[in-house]
Amino acid sequence: MDIDLLSKMVKELILDNDRVVLPGLGCFVAEMVPSTFSDKGYTINPPYRRLYFRSRPDYGDALTRLYAEGNAIEMEIADKIITDFVSELKEVLFTKKTIVFPGLGRLRATKENAVFFVADEDLDIYPAGFGLEPLSLKTHQESAAEVTAAVEGLKQLLEEPVVELQPSVEPEPKVEPEPMLEPEPVVEPEPEAVFEPEPVMELEDHSHPVPEEDVQDGPDHGSPLLKALKVILIICAVLAILLGLYIAVAKLAPEWLDRLLYTKVQLEILNYKP
């Protein structure tokens, strides 16, 4: 196995894979780079795939499988051949600091043996982007075919009927007319019967009339002042009776009276004797 074969195998695998592992050294990684602008925005660069090298342990058997199928040997033998060759390649890289991969680029190492990859300027690993070239907006002039296509597109846009979307209107619920209520008959109140008082028959007073001179003016027992004096006297009498009962109970049964006036805790405080 030599470096030309290894470079050819890596390029073949990287077209359909994003990663190709070199056992014990690292792996080649391809990633997409989107379109970019340059020349102050006047040049559009097409997308492409960028190839770089990642120097950290990784696992992958795509290279071993391709070598085994191409040489009709077993995977174990192919893996040993590739591992040994990459190991020798690693020693040369750390010694000379540069290894050229024909058709890919250069694999380099720094003084601290940090490995990095410099791709060839004409390296193309993006078959889907074949024919894409940078587009300059300064010098670009539309061809007759492009102008015709643009005009046809505008005509189609103008000729297409514009469909206005009408908001969906829900049907209004049918309102059934309310039944007409017949007016209730007005009942006129019956005229109240007027009762005329019967004439009072005057009874003849056969008693002897008392002369006005014999009627003496007595005290007016129904005056408000006398009624108020009676009420006051009754209240004073009731208070006097209650006061007398209180004094009698206080002398005869003072303990019973204390139970009515004080709570159990208050009695304990009053009766406390140190």
Q: Give one DSSP letter per residue of 70-101, joined into a string.
A: HHT--HHHHHHHHHHHHHHHHHHHHHHSEEEE
CA distance 10 to 22: 9
From 103, 104, 101, select the one nearest 89 (Cα to Cα).
Answer: 101
CA distance 88 to 128: 36
Mean pLDDT of the chain: 78
pLDDT < 50: residue spans in the chain: 195, 200, 202-219
> How many whole angstroms from its chain centre is CA 28?
45
CA distance 221 to 206: 30
> What's residue 214's pLDDT?
47
Determine the angle formed by the axes of helices 62-71 and 3-14, rounding to 10 degrees. 120
> What's residue 176's pLDDT?
62
CA distance 246 to 227: 29
From 57, 2, 5, select the one nearest 26 (Cα to Cα).
Answer: 57
Residue 223's contacts (CB-CB under 8 Å, 6 or more residues apart) are: none
**pTM value?**
0.47
